[in-house]
Amino acid sequence: MRALSRALVSLFGFGVCAAADARAEPPLRVEGSHGPVVERVAEQGILTPVPIRIRFPPAILPARVLVHLRAFGAKEWSTLELKRSGQAWQGEIPCLEVSTITGVLRYYIRAYDEDGAVIATSGSRENPYRVLIKKTGASSLGGAAAPKKCPDPADCPRGLPGCGSEPVERVPCRRDTDCEGGLLCGFDGFCEAAQRDKNWFSIAAEQDFVFVPTTDACSRKSQTTEGFACFREDGAQYRGSALPDINHPIQAGIGPTRLGIGYDRLILQNVMVGARAGWAVRGEQRAGKNAIDFVRLHAELRLSYFVGRDPLAHSGLRGFLMTSAGVAQFDTVVPVQVGEDLSQRSRQGGNDLRQTLDASKRAGDFFLGLGAGLWFGSSRSTALSAALRVLEVFPFGATVIAPELGYAIGF
């Protein structure tokens, strides 16, 4: 008896059996408990569906089984889905794919779980199954009737019973490695051609403008527990008894200038999460005798939402919204007018009845922020950004307006 060639192609122990001679004998079955068994034909006539059947052991039960195929002369691969019947999945490569052209039709099989991840494969694009398409003949799987030849491709459209499985235009996936042919796993769980850079490194410069309430800013309480330190013109810290004052408005002062680096990860088509670390290159102000040292380092987590449809799949102008949370200190100096309370015993000489002091505010140590900005990509992998954030600082309260300019590179 002539020996049959057996193609055993397996990622998880696939057993494959094939009829290998020109007579397209019924395929040899390799039975066992180590993996599924693929039944196929080695030859088929033109305009005749090519049957495929794969049987799975109880330990392997995929959610979907797809056949990726390319007819002779075709430039692209197409996909069809096998239909389940118990522990078997079966279908036919339709007449439209077989067509009237003789040559070699190639295909391979991939099984997917419910999340779209590939759990088993049989064959590959580099080493596919091959079916010789001839002018005449009709091969069938063992025990099955020979497929009926289509008199014309129009008589056997895709999805019609007896003409094969409905083609699948979108291949499910969980990660990029589940996709082939240069496709990537999209955020909707299907392979797609869109090229997006999911990882972004950035550098940025930020200038803080700090808004602080100055009511009773130079009182003993404010200078002890609220991050203020007030200084006279001679440089001495104010230790007098300030009159209560409820009329001082919120005042703005220039805060630190920061340089920072960042990393962001695109987790959805429109959503990035990332982290920032920076250094205050200037902006430290005088502080009270018992104040903690100014911490130049700042760190934050950031969540960004880009407006538009799949905005990072192309270059151009894109808007975004963001929220952030982190740790940082914000120093500023604002002028405050103080009246001396003569009813109190003086603890410091040289104070005028009314004088203007420099009120230094050290706000921090934590902040929450909201912001918006524009992202201009001269290419898909580079971008200039401009953003404006509003930060609320606690427990030493302040409101910070923080414009920022940056440059990002994606990969």
Closest CA to 328 of 285, 301, 298: 298
Query: Quick check: 311 pLDDT over 70?
Result: yes
Tokens at residue 82, please? 């096998």
Tell which residue, 291, 293, 282, 284, has the closest CA to residue 228: 291
Residue 325 pLDDT greater than 70, yes or no: yes
Indicate if the pLDDT at residue 336 is higher than 80: yes
- Under 8 Å between Cβ of 65 and 54: yes
Write the pLDDT tens digit of every residue in 207-225. 999 999 999 999 999 998 8
CB 185 within 8 A of CB 170: no
Statement: residue 242 has pLDDT above 60 = yes
Q: pLDDT averaged over the chain?
A: 83
pLDDT for 271 beyond 80: yes
| Residue 86, pLDDT above cutoff 50 | yes
Q: Is the pTM of this model over 0.85?
A: no
User: Average pLDDT in the 223-232 region?
Assistant: 92
Using DSSP, state whether 116 is helix, strand or coil.
Answer: coil
Residue 314: pLDDT band with limits 50, 70, 90: confident
Q: Which two tokens stand for residue 162?
A: 């007896």
Residue 287 CB contacts under 8 Å (≥ 6 apart), including other chains: 229, 294, 331, 360, 362
pLDDT of residue 33: 40
pLDDT at position 231 over 90: yes
Complete domains list, the chain, with CATH = 15-192 (2.60.40.2840), 199-410 (2.40.160.20)
Mean pLDDT of 55-84: 86
Binned at pLDDT 50, 70 and 90, residue 1 comes out as very low
pLDDT higher than 50, residue 49: yes
CB 357 within 8 A of CB 329: no
Pairing of strands 43-45, 271-282: unpaired
What's the pLDDT band for 156 if we cut at 50, 70, 90? Answer: low
Percent of all residues in the chain with a pLDDT value above 70, rounded to a whole number = 86
What distance in Å separates the CA atoms of residue 52 and residue 40, rounded to the nearest whole number?
A: 5
120 or 282, which is more confident = 282
pLDDT at position 13? 36
So what's the pLDDT on residue 27? Answer: 32
pLDDT of 10 over the 50 cut: no
What pLDDT band is residue 16 in, cutting at 50, 70 and 90? very low
Q: What is the mean pLDDT of residues 156-174?
A: 62
Cβ contacts of 319 within 8 Å, gap of 6 or more: 306, 307, 308, 372, 373, 374, 375
Question: What does the alpha-carbon distance between residue 167 and residue 70 come to, in Å, rounded to a whole number?
Answer: 12
Tens of pLDDT along 357-407?
Answer: 999 999 989 999 999 999 998 888 999 999 999 999 999 889 999 999 999
Given this model, what pLDDT does residue 143 score?
Answer: 67
Give 112-148 pLDDT, tens digit per residue: 888 888 888 888 888 899 999 998 888 888 767 777 7
Tokens of 353: 């009845």
Amino acid identity, residue 280?
A: A
Residue 71 is predicted with a pLDDT of 87
